[in-house]
Amino acid sequence: MSQFLCLHKTKTRRRYECPLIGRKTDIDALTIRLESVVGVTSAKVNPIARTFTLHSNGDWNVANLQKELSKIDFGSFINFERAKKCKLNTNDCDTFGLWRSITALALTPLTSDNNTKLIISALGSMPLLARGVDDLIKSGLTSKVLEAMAVGVSLARADYTAANSTNVLLELGEYIEETTAQKSDELIKELGKPNVDKVWVEEVVEGKKVLKQTPSLSVKIGDIVVAGAGETIAIDGHVVAGVALVNQASMTGESEPVKKERGDRVMSGITIKEGQIKIWAEQVGDNTATARIKHYILSSLEEKSSIGLKATKLADKLVPITLGLSALSYLVTQNTQNVASVLQADYSCALKLATPVAFKSAIAQAGKEGILIKGAKVLEALASADTFVFDKTGTLTYGELEVISVTSFDEDWTKEEILNLTASTEEHYFHPVAEAVVKAAKKLGFVHMHHEEVEFIAAHGVKTTVSGKEVVIGSRHFLADDEKISFEEHETKIDKSLKEGKTILYVGFEGKLLGMIEMFDKVRENAKDVIKKLKTIGVKKVVMLTGDVSSRALAISDELGLDEVHANMLPQSKAKVIKQLKESGAKVVFVGDGINDAPALISSDVGVSMFKGADITKVSADISLMKDDIEALVDIKLLANRAMSRIHKNFNTTVGVNSAILLGASLGLLTPVITAMLHNGTTVGLLINSMKKLK
C-alpha cells in the first residue's frame, strides 16, 4: 500500500505528498493512472516536490478516493531509462577488471603446475600489460608503463603471487581513483537544476485573462508566468501579484523558506512551497540563473589550475627518475624483486588526481552555499588575492534607494500629497526609484490618487494626467530640457542635496516644479564587519570606487574603515585604477553589480558579481553570488585559502611519502606487494582527504 499525505484541499483540487515519487518516476504513466481514478478530471505529478495534484468537477467522495489511491503502487512507476540517467556515475565504474584480477589471485594457489599459473596470471594481467604497451607507444614513459613493467617483471620471475597481488591492488586503486574523481564531478553536476519543461502563462483572450500551458523555452521577456505550490520556477523575474513561500536553498543555500510578494525578485530553480504568484519574465531560456549555473559547471569541470598543471608536469617528469632508479637498483643488487618494487612507487596517481578533486569539491561546496565559481584557476587566484576593490552601489550599500525626505515647492501641496501623487504614478514599474517611492508612501498610509494612463519614457521618467493637468516625474534632464520646467528658483536647495550625495526625483505639475523626493542608498549593516574579517584572512588593502560625489564617498570610507577611496569615477576610470593596483604588485579582487562595472571586472584578477547585478556583470565575473549578502565574500575567501592549504599539504605529502617508498624499494626493504599497498593506500588516502568538506 502506498503512503501519501494530503497537503492541501479545496472543493475541486487536492494536493498530496508521496515520498515514493521522485526523479526516477515515469511521470506520464503515473499521470495517466491517477486520471483513471473515478472522480478525477485531471492530474499533475511533480517529481521534484514529490507531490501529485488531482482536480475534479465538484465535491470529492473522500472515502472512495482514498481507497482508489491506496491501490496504486507508486513505487512501480519507475522509468528504468530515467533511473539509469539519474544514477551517479560512480555506480557505472567498470568493476570487471577488479574481479578478473581477484579471480586470478584466488585461482593461482589452487594449481601446482607453473605453466597453468603463468596462463592464469597472464590472463588476469593482460589488460594492464596491454595498457602499458599502448601508453608507451602513444605517450612514452608514463605511470601505466611503470605499472605494466612491475607486473611483467614479477611474471618473468615466476613470482605469480606478487604479480597477481600487485595487479589486484592496482585495479582496486584505479577503481577507487576513478570513483572518487567521478564523484567530485557529480558534486558539481548536482548544482545544475533539472529543466522545467512546461509553465503556465497568463494570456488575454477576448478581453479575459486565461492560463495557457506552454513549453518553458517558448516564454518571452514580459510574459506573465503563474507558478503555484509544488512547482519549480523556470524563469527569472519580478513578482507582480500573489504571495508565496519559496524554498530557494538550491540557489542561495538558505535553509528556511522565504516569503515572496509583489516587487520581489525570484530566480529559476527555486520551488514554491505554499501559495501562488504571478511573475513578470525578465530573464528566459539561456539567460536564467539556472542556465548560468550549468555554464559555470561546464567551466568548472574543464578548467585546470596552474598548480594542477604543475602537479601533472612534475608527475610526468618523475617517471623517468623512477625508471632510472629501478635500473640502478638492479645494477647494484642484481635483484629483480627490487626492480619490481621500485617500479610500483610512482608519483603520478596522487599528484594528478588529488589536486583536481580538491578543487572540484571546494567549488561544489561553494555552490551549495550560493556562490558560483567558474573554475579552479579562479579559486587559486582568490586564495592569493591581497586587495579587495568594491564598487559602492549595490555592494557596500544595498543598491536599494530609501526615501529620506520630501520637499514641496508649492504651499498648496503637502509633502504627503506629493509622495502619494508620485507613488500613484510610479507603482506600476519596477525601477529602483519607483519601488523606493511606493514603499515610502505605504509606510505613511498610501492614498491612491486617480490618474490617466501613464506614459513611460525610458531613462527619463513618467508622464500622466491628474484632474486634467499634466504631471511629469523623473530626472532633471527630463523636466528641464524636455518639458522646459524652470529650476532656477530652487537651485540652492537642489545643490545642497546633491552635494550630500542624495539621489533626487523631481516632480512637475502644470509646467512648474512641484517638489523633489530625496533618496539615499543605505550602507549595509554588516559591511564594516566584513571588511574587518577580510583583513584577518590575508587581505591587506580594501579600496572603494564610486561615481558618487567626494563628500559622500569619504563619509562611507570613514564609516567602514577603508584604506583607499576614489570618487567621481567613470567606468573606464575604474578599470584604470585596477590596472594601477596590479602594476604595483597587488592581486586584485573586484566586487561590482552594475553595467559600468564590467571593464573593472574583466581587468581584475578575480571579478565578483553581486546577486542583483546586471547580466553583463554576471557574464564578465569569475564568481557570482546567488544571495544578496556580502558576508559570502568572507566565506569564499576562507574557502579558497583552506582549499589551497589542503592542496599544498596533499602535494607535499605525495612527494614526501612516495619518495620514502621509492627509497625503501630501491634499498630492497619493500617487496612489490608491500610497495603497491603503500603507494595505492597513500593515493586513496589523499583522495579521500580531498573530498572532505572544508570547515
Q: Residues 345-349: what's their mean pLDDT?
A: 67
Tell me the average pLDDT across 116-120.
Answer: 89
Cα 261 versus chain centre, distance? 24
Of 420-424, 497-501, 603-607, 644-648, give the lowest mean pLDDT range.
497-501
Q: 305 exposed, middle or buried (CB, 10 Å; 0-12, 13-18, 19+)? A: buried
Predicted confidence band at 181 (pLDDT cuts at 50, 70, 90)? Answer: low
664-679 tens-digit pLDDT: 888 888 887 787 788 7
Q: For position 39, what pLDDT does the model report?
A: 78
Q: What are the pLDDT digits (tens) for 384-406? A: 999 999 988 888 988 778 899 99
Residue carrying C-alpha cell 553589480: 593
- From residue 25, alpha-carbon distances to 31, 81, 250, 420 in Å are 10, 10, 21, 53
Task: Give the residue-averaged pLDDT of 203-230.
Answer: 85
Distance CA 679, CA 170 (A): 9
Cell numbers for 591? 566586487
- Over 50: is that where the pLDDT of 92 sits? no
- Detail the DSSP E strand segments found in 432-496: 455-457, 461-466, 469-474
Residue with cell 592464469: 120
Query: Are 164 and 102 in contact, with CB atoms under 8 Å apart?
Result: no
Among 139-153, 330-344, 641-655, 659-673, the range with the most confident prediction by mean pLDDT is: 641-655
pLDDT for res 140: 76
Cβ contact 216:199 at 8 Å: yes
pLDDT digits (tens, 9 = 90+) for 236-285: 888 988 988 887 655 554 546 778 888 888 888 788 888 899 999 888 87
Which grid coordinates are listed for 329? 637498483
Does residue 1 have a pLDDT over 50?
Answer: no
Query: How many Cβ atoms are within 10 Å of 468's Cβ, its own excluded?
Result: 7
> What is the per-residue pLDDT across 540-551, written as a single tens digit (0 to 9) for each?
999 999 877 787
Q: What pLDDT is stored for residue 690 in this prediction?
A: 79
In DSSP terms, 469 is beta-bridged to: 466
Mean pLDDT over all residues of the chain?
81
Residue 544 is inside which H or E element, if any?
strand 541-545
β-bridge mates for residue 17, sequence order: 5, 51
For residue 142, pLDDT over 80 is answered with no
Q: For residue 581, is pLDDT > 50?
A: yes
Q: Which of 17-21, 329-333, 354-358, 690-694 has the highest mean pLDDT?
A: 17-21
Assign 297 a pLDDT band (cuts: 50, 70, 90): low
DSSP letter, residue 232 = B
- C-beta of residue 100 within 8 angstroms of C-beta of residue 126: no
DSSP-derived secondary structure for 592-647: E-SGGGHHHHHHSSEEEE-TT--HHHHHH-SEEESSS-THHHHHHHHHHHHHHHHH
For the chain, what's the residue count? Answer: 695
Q: Which residue has the higher pLDDT, 46 or 52?
A: 52
Question: What mean pLDDT comes out for the span 172-177?
Answer: 66
**Residue 51: all three cell numbers together:** 507531490
With CA atoms as reference, report the closest residue to 215 among 198, 194, 227, 232: 198
Residue pair 306/376 in contact by the 8 Å Cβ criterion: no
Average pLDDT over residues 314-340: 74
pLDDT at 84 over 50: no
Q: What is the mean pLDDT of residues 144-170?
A: 78
| DSSP per residue, 57-109 | SS---HHHHHHHHHT--GGG-B-HHHHHHHS-GGGGS--HHHHHHHHHHHHGG
pLDDT at position 479, please?
93
Cβ atoms < 10 Å from Cβ of 430:
16
CB 507 within 8 Å of CB 473: yes
Q: Which residue has the higher pLDDT, 513 or 297?
A: 513
Angle at CA 366, nearest 5°, toward 361 and 371?
145
| Of 269, 281, 272, residue with least CA distance to 228 | 272
Task: Report CA torsion sign: 175, 178, 181, 187.
Answer: negative
**pLDDT value for 626:** 79
Confidence (pLDDT) at 640: 93
DSSP reduced 3-state for 370 = coil
Domains and CATH numbers, the chain: 5-87 (3.30.1360), 96-188+303-358+645-691 (no CATH), 198-231+235-287 (2.70.150.10), 367-397+524-640 (3.40.50.1000), 403-522 (3.40.1110.10)
> Is the torsion defined by CA of 83, 86, 89, 91 positive or negative?
negative
What residue has cell string 570606487?
Answer: 545
Torsion of Cα atoms, 100 then 101 then 106 then 107, to 10°: 60
| Spatial distance between the Cα atoms of 225 and 233, rounded to a whole number of angstroms | 9
Q: How far apart are CA 629 and CA 527, in angstroms?
A: 9
d(CA 533, CA 539): 9
- Residue closest to 348 by CA, chosen among 319, 324, 306, 310: 319
Structure confidence by residue, pLDDT tens digits, 445-493: 999 899 988 888 765 788 999 989 999 999 888 999 999 999 999 999 9
From residue 185, how far is each of 48, 84, 89, 517, 649 by CA, in Å?
A: 22, 17, 9, 52, 22
- 224 within 8 A of 253, measured Cβ to Cβ: no
Q: What is the pLDDT of residue 48?
A: 67
**50-82 burial by CB neighbour count: b if 16+ within 10 A, else e?**
bbbbbebeeebeeeebeebbeebebeebbbeee
pLDDT of 599 > 70? The answer is yes
**Gap between the Cα atoms of 522 and 520, Å rounded:** 6
Tell me which range, 57-71, 106-120, 126-140, 524-538, is most confidently predicted by mean pLDDT: 524-538
The arithmetic mean of pLDDT across residues 508-533, rounded, is 93
The pLDDT value given to residue 687: 76
